[in-house]
Structure 1
C-alpha cells in the first residue's frame, strides 16, 4: 500500500484481481491508513479467513475486534473512522444520493462485470459485455460534466467506478471514439491520483501493461 500517515492496526484480506477488493484499497490509500494488506488467492484461502468471516469471502477487513466482510460497509466505516479527507457528503440528502449511486453502479455495472469475469456461459458473457458497453456509451456525457463522477470532488462513488474502468481492457470492451474521449479525461484524473496508484495490486498493474 501507499504512504502510511495514520496509526492503525488493521488487516485487509484482499483479492488482487477483484474490483470489490480494489475499491476498498483505494479508500485505504486515500485515507493513508496503516494497514497490513494480505493478498489472498481465492482458490487457496488461509484457514484464518474462515475463522474470521462466516462466509469465508473476500474482501475481509479486520480492525482489532471488528471484522467486516462487505466492501461498501468497509468503505463507509473507513470514511467515518478516518474522516479526513471525507469521501461521503456531510448532508443527509447528498449522502443518500451517493449511496443510491453506489447501489446503481452495483446493479447496472458490477453485475455485468462479474458475469464477464466469472461466468462460464459464453452467451451470458457476450450479452453482459454488450450491455455494459452500451450503458457506458449512454453514460459517457456524465463523465464530462464535472471533474469527478457527478461531483466537483473525489468521492466514494469514484472509488467504485475507478476499478471497473481500469478493467475495461481485461473485459474486452472498446468504446466508440467520441465516448472514449469523454471517459478518458475522467479516467486520466482518477488513475493519476497517488491513492489510486498506491491501491493497485501486482495483478491489477498487469491489466494495463
Structure 2
C-alpha cells in the first residue's frame, strides 16, 4: 500500500492527493504539520518537504515525480498522454507551471506585503494569459482531463485565499476551475483546512 506524507494546506500535497483519489486506489495519507516536521521526514526527503510518497522500498518526493509514478503504476484512468510527443508537451507545460505560477507560492504565503503583491500580480497576469484557451476547450489538453488539470487545480482553489481577483476576461478560466472542483476525486482530496479556504 502507498503512503503519502501530505501537508494539510500544501498545494503540492493537494496535487498528489487529487491523483490518488482520481485513481480510486488503496492508500494512506499521513497529515504532516509543515511548521513542525516529523524527524523521519528529513531522513526520507533531504529537502525536508512534503509531499513524500512511500511504497515498500521506494521513497519519492517532488509532486510531479510522485504523480507520474502513480500514473504509470496505476494506468487507469491514464492522466499523462499515451503519445510520446503529447507526453513531452505535457511535461513542458508542467515545467512552465512551476516556473510561471507555482514559483510564486512562497511569495503568496509570505508575511511581507510587497512580496505578496508582486506574487499576486505575477499569478494574475499568467492566469489571465491562459484564460482564453478555455473558451474553446474543456480541459488543458482539449476534451480529456489530464495531469495538467491536476497540477493547476490546487492553485485555482486557493485564488480567493491568496487574495487574487481576476477580471471578466478570465471568466472561461473560472468556469474551467469549477469543472475541476466538481470532480469527485478533487472533492475527496480536500482536507478540512483546504475546504475552509473558500467561502
Contact 1:143–1:150 (CA under 8 A) maintained in structure 2: no
The equivalent of 1:82 in structure 2 is: 74
Deviations 1:27-75 (A, max 9, x none): 1011112111011101222222223223322110001110001111000
The equivalent of 1:17 in structure 2 is: 9
Q: 2:41 aligns with which of 35, 49, 71?
A: 49
The equivalent of 2:58 in structure 1 is: 66
The Cα shift of 1:120 comes to: 3.8
The equivalent of 1:129 in structure 2 is: 120
1:112 and 2:104 matched: yes
TM-score, normalised to structure 2's length? Answer: 0.95
Q: Aligned residue pairs: how many?
A: 199
SS of the residue aligned with 1:144?
Answer: helix
Contact 1:144–1:185 (CA under 8 A) maintained in structure 2: no
Contact 1:115–1:124 (CA under 8 A) maintained in structure 2: yes
Q: Which runs of 4+ in 1 moved over 3 A?
A: none
Structure 1 residues 184 and 64: alpha-carbon distance in aligned structure 2, compared to 1, 3 A threshold: same
The Cα shift of 1:124 comes to: 1.9
TM-score, normalised to structure 1's length? Answer: 0.91
Q: CA RMSD in A?
A: 1.2
Q: Which runs of 5+ in 2 are unaligned?
A: none
**Mapping of 1:1-209 within 5 angstroms?**
9-117=1-109, 119-179=110-170, 181-209=171-199
